[in-house]
Amino acid sequence: MRDPNKQTIFSGVQPSGHLTLGNYLGAIKHFGTLQDEYNCIYCVVDMHAITIRQDPAGLRRQTLELLAQYIACGIDPKKSILFVQSHVPAHAQLAWVLNCYTMFGEMSRMTQFKDKSSKHADNINVGLFDYPVLMAADILLYQAHKVPVGIDQQQHIEITRDIAQRFNGIYSDTFVIPEGFYPKVGAKINSLSEPSKKMSKSDENPNGYILLLDKPEDIMRKFKRAVTDSDNRIIRAEGKDGITNLITIYAAATGKSPEEVEAEFAGKGYGAFKPAVGEAVVELLRPVRETTEDLLKNKDYLEQIYQEGAEQANAIARRTLDKVYRKIGFVKR
Ligand code: TRP
């Protein structure tokens, strides 16, 4: 399954909420298509999730739900490695080593830390601060060449590269220097209720986001209520963030270009367009939701997937960790 002639892709998603249409169109939808070209490794990063307080039963459920959704979105466990971060101890072990090669000052500049600590001012824990180093360990353990993530993760990719280069500089080549792999234009999906902001599951208004597991009637309702301007023309333009976002979504859901969408709806109004976007999204997500629901009924199958995934991931990760331990001077056991 691992082809030494192919580059490696690693990506992780936190099981700290539910996946949105934005996650799907921006990233996860493309994971499946990468499997033939690369050795792909996809991880449910439960250790990152606990940097924000989680309800234990919820975390357990969401971890399985995310695994099921990964598969439903097209990740084939026969082609890719699919595993849970806490099942592979090398993540925590390498993160500790890398902590000692990461400067307090450079970590203090991380914008996600600043954002999250202002949002969770009552729980600014050291894990939250250290989050990027654990992420660096995730990526570097697998000698990943490419890391598909949203553009908001760019700073974390940069610090991963800095840490890897620093370590390689001191101890000779140890880590592949990874590159961020950012989705192309059109994949950035904004909120339906505040269309100038990114669609996010942490949005307080659930009408702002579409979840992959939302029921068709909820999807239709959210699109019918989507915030738009009042000029009633279906074109992309400044000041028309809502309609521009809906055009992007309709285009991505149907595989049409934004120009084709504008032509299709020329002379029609929002009353025709909004339900059409809703229906396109319902059809896009229907197989994902149905497959996820079926998989969640089959816990034995999911367990088999994450057990096998952990074994394969562990073998690769252990090799890198051994190399690191040897280079820094730990006595081999
Ligand atoms: N920080 C990433 C996010 O919030 C999740 C993540 C953790 C990740 N470890 C990773 C992504 C390694 C890519 C590679 O989206």
Task: Indicate the pTM of the whole model.
Answer: 0.90
CA of 13 relative to ligand 1 center, distance in Å = 6
Residue 186: the pLDDT is: 47
CB proximity list for 104: less than 8 A, separation 6 or greater: none
Q: Tell me, yes or no, if 224 is annotated catalytic.
A: no
CA of 141 relative to ligand 1 center, distance in Å = 14
Average pLDDT over residues 240-260: 94
More confident residue, 33 or 221: 221
DSSP state of 143: T
- Residue type, position 29, single letter: K
Integer Rg of the chain from CA: 21
pLDDT tops 80 at residue 184: no
pLDDT tops 90 at residue 55: yes
pLDDT tops 90 at residue 330: yes
Average pLDDT, the chain: 94
Collapsing DSSP to helix, strand or coil, 126 comes out as: helix
pLDDT tops 70 at residue 193: yes
Interior CA angle at 68 toward 317 and 302, to 5°? 70
Contact between 50 and 127 under an 8 Å Cβ cutoff? The reply is yes
Q: Which atom of ligand 1 is nearest to the CA of 48?
A: 7
pLDDT, tens digit, 9 for 90 and up, residues 42-53: 999 999 999 999
Q: Tell me, yes or no, if 323 is annotated catalytic.
A: no
Q: How confident is the model at residue 294 (pLDDT cuts 50, 70, 90)?
A: very high
Burial class (CB in 10 A: 0-12, 13-18, 19+), 156: buried
Interior CA angle at 44 toward 21 and 133, to 5°? 110
**How crowded is residue 324: how many other Cβ atoms within 10 Å of its Cβ?**
22
Cβ 138 under 6 angstroms from ligand 1: yes
Question: The tokens 């963030």 sit on which residue?
Answer: 241
Residue 136: the pLDDT is: 98
Q: Distances in Å between the alpha carbon of 201 and those of 124, 159, 204?
A: 21, 26, 8
Question: The tokens 């497959």 sit on which residue?
Answer: 291
Average pLDDT over residues 278-283: 97
Atom 11 of ligand 1, nearest CA residue: 12
| Ligand 1 mutation pick, 8, 14, 23, 159, max ligand atoms within 8 A of CB | 14
- DSSP of 249-277: HHHHHHT--HHHHHHHTTT--HHHHHHHH
Collapsing DSSP to helix, strand or coil, 186 comes out as: coil
Report percent pLDDT > 70 for the chain.
98
Question: The tokens 């285009």 sit on which residue?
Answer: 251
pLDDT, tens digit, 9 for 90 and up, residues 111-161: 999 989 998 899 999 999 999 999 999 999 999 999 998 888 999 999 999
Atom 14 of ligand 1, nearest CA residue: 11
Q: Tell me, yes or no, if 146 is annotated catalytic.
A: no
List 29, 146, 198, 222, catalytic entry: 198
Alpha-carbon distance of 20 to 65, in angstroms, equals 13
pLDDT tops 80 at residue 23: yes
